[in-house]
Chain A
């Protein structure tokens, strides 16, 4: 069965960096677009970034302004989000999610999330 497990969250100071990973299993990873979605404490969902199955198509939410980089390693079925210049407003649970097919598809499987806290 499909399984997504995020890791790498934690406490980081403003201006710092963090690298999140998502280990995927139970499906052919390279066939699917993947996204990162975040949820600030007590708030709604915010899409962060997506990457195509080959990695050739990437997009980011406007609020990130070049601070985050998404990548994937299909050989390891792994999705990565490199986060730099972190701010207090980046504090959130970060979920990785699978698009059910290509880009124009909903998120059919989600990981349980990893908490990122940006605080001095």
Chain B
């Protein structure tokens, strides 16, 4: 099983600031089969990034993903009020499919 560890658990920032979220995998995620999701209270998750760095349809370019193998990063360059949410990474390179524990981005 691929274990994904997200850090920090909570990120306290202000609108306009830059957010950097980490996702570490053990063992490696092959072929960069790593996705990021955003979840707001009471809502289903929304796909932001797939293939470690490709933005999903309709996702603003302030969201970007980088990384490979064991270290992945989601960056939000300028936080908008609607970006305050919980973010999860997920690997889809091998079963069982697994998620990280999440990072809450709060004001």
Residue numbers of A with Cβ under 8 A of B are: 35, 44-47, 50, 59-62, 95, 99-100, 103-108, 110-113
Contacts and interface: CB of A to CB of B under 8 A. Distances in A.
A47 B47 contact: no
Contacts of A113: 44
A112 B90 contact: no
A47 B37 CA distance: 14
The SS class assigned to the B binding surface is: loop
A95 B99 CA distance: 14
A62 to B, nearest CB: 6
Contacts of B20: none
B75 to A, nearest CB: 18
Given A45-B45, A104-B33, A50 B97 contact: yes
Interface residues of B, number: 25
A99 B95 CA distance: 14
Contact of A62 (B1, B35, B46, B50): B1
B98 interface: yes
B97 A100 contact: no
A94 B15 CA distance: 32
B69 to A, nearest CB: 16
